[in-house]
Structure 1
Amino acid sequence: MLPLALLEWDAGNAEEARDLFKQTIETGQWGIVLAASWNLAVIEVGAGDLEEARRLLQQAAEADGPSKQRADVLMYWADVERDAGNHERARELYEQVLHVK
């Protein structure tokens, strides 16, 4: 479902993409939950819903998946916080990247 969600997002169908990402998250699959949560968070950041984006980024950071991808999620999240003016939280997240294994 992840590829379908990405196609819908690329086609400008945000609501359909959201629904497909949510369905994908519900599968609980290794690596897929991480990717789908992150992609859905990107949509929410773009829509201005930072609280939902933060929840999804936390979910992505805690999901099972490749360490590199988890580090990328944390970097993205730190950038979001930095851009929102939350410099202390951004610093914490950047530091977490250093400890991803």
Structure 2
Amino acid sequence: MRWIVTKDYWGNCLGMGEDEDGVPTHGKPEQGDALPMEFWLCDANENVVFEGRCGDIDADWWHGMEPLLYTWTTFRCRRLYYRRAGTKESWRPLRP
């Protein structure tokens, strides 16, 4: 699933993500505008480390875990919250 970091509170990771084939890549944050979901990646204390956009997690929750798995070890991200982009829906935790 395509995903990209659009806001970076860690430093030096803006644009980090994966392409449609799951290959790690760097892009421009604006490339996320076409993706249907937005997400937060948080540490164990619920501090937002990264914000980004990704494919439809509701349709494919397994691949929705990819941003979390990618950032788990290096950045200590422990939780992913998501919602449909452009809405005021409540943020939902990723729960497989």
Same fold, TM-score > 0.5, yes or no:
no
More helix by percentage: 1
TM-score for the superposition, normalised by structure 1: 0.32
Could you say which structure has the higher strand fraction?
Answer: 2
Q: Give the TM-score taking structure 2 as reference length.
A: 0.33
RCO higher in 1 or 2 (8 Å CA, sep ≥ 6)?
2
Bigger Rg, which one: 1
